[in-house]
Amino acid sequence: MGEFDGRVALVTGGALGIGRGIVEEFAAAGAAVAIADVNADAAGALASELGRAGHRAIATVGDVASAADADRMVAETIAAFGRLDILVNNAGIHPAEWFFRVEDMPEDAWDRILDVNLKGIYLMAKAASPQIRRAGGGAIVNIASVQGLDAAHGPLVRGEQRRRPLAHAPDGARLCPGEHPRRRRLPRHDRHRHVPSRRAGCGRRH
Ligand SMILES: NC(=O)c1ccc[n+]([C@@H]2O[C@H](COP(=O)([O-])OP(=O)(O)OC[C@H]3O[C@@H](n4cnc5c(N)ncnc54)[C@H](O)[C@@H]3O)[C@@H](O)[C@H]2O)c1
């Protein structure tokens, strides 16, 4: 008996990397697995490999940043296995552009990162939630980087401010992280240090 016998898991970005490991673990624990990935060849190869090993797996090819693809990947999972219990939002991209100086970063790269890493989670959850509810409740697991902790408030703003200075350091340029003083319940006398407008000098070089 496996821990996930009778359960169905959909793993985005499940064809390669960490996602592949998650797919293999779910399969080994008895779940039927939908490998949802833009890479059709890798997803198909993994589904075949798991099938040969006696597991239930399908490849469902699509882009998590597309609402139509998200809906279709969930629909194909239901068509194959009849239910959906677990969604793992693992697909994520972190292209080298992320570490460019801000003026060198193409706008479309910025948009694509947010579309896949952020909007993709929303679109997949939106498509999967009714099915998970219909199955009696399950889980949605979002995989992120610890870098995301820096971006917990304001869409990626703090993460951006922590990371970007690395690229700008050779210029001697400084970017100043700021935080609303009420947010961290700082002692009143300490709050001014965390107001961006009062930190224009930043006090230290990154
Ligand atoms: N590798 C690390 O060190 C690391 C560290 C922290 C967090 N993470 C997070 O773990 C997750 C997986 O990382 P990884 O290193 O295994 O990545 P990877 O690049 O090795 O694999 C990503 C998989 O997602 C697929 N994919 C990419 N864009 C997609 C899209 N739009 N729609 C559907 N599938 C798509 C790719 O085809 C690939 O199979 C990401 O969310 C990443 O941010 C990774």
Q: What number does the ligand 1 atom closest to the CA of 64 have? A: 32
- The answer to whether the CB of 63 is under 6 A from ligand 1 is yes
Q: Which residue type is seen at 130?
A: P
N-to-C CA span, the chain? 54
Supply the angle between the helices 67-81 and 120-134 in degrees, to the nearest 10. 30
Of 43, 49, 131, 44, the C-alpha closest to 87 is 131
Q: How far is CA 81 from CA 32, 57, 109, 111, in A?
A: 7, 9, 36, 34
Q: For a substitution probing ligand 1, which of 37, 61, 73 has the most ligand atoms within 8 Å of its CB?
A: 37
- Phi, psi dihedrals of residue 205, rounded to the nearest 5°: -95, 145
**Cβ atoms of residues 44 and 122 within 8 Å:** no
Ligand 1 lined by 167 (C-beta under 6 Å) = no
* Ranges of the chain whose pLDDT falls below 70: 97-98, 148-206
Q: What pTM was computed for the model?
A: 0.81
What pLDDT is recorded for position 178? 43
Residue type, 48: S
Ligand 1 geometric centre to CA of 107 (Å): 21
Specify the amino acid at residue 100.
F
Looking at residue 167, its pLDDT comes to 53
Q: What is the pLDDT of residue 117?
A: 94
- Dump pLDDT digits (tens) for 146-166: 776 655 444 454 555 555 455
**What's the topology of domain 8-144?**
Rossmann fold (3.40.50)
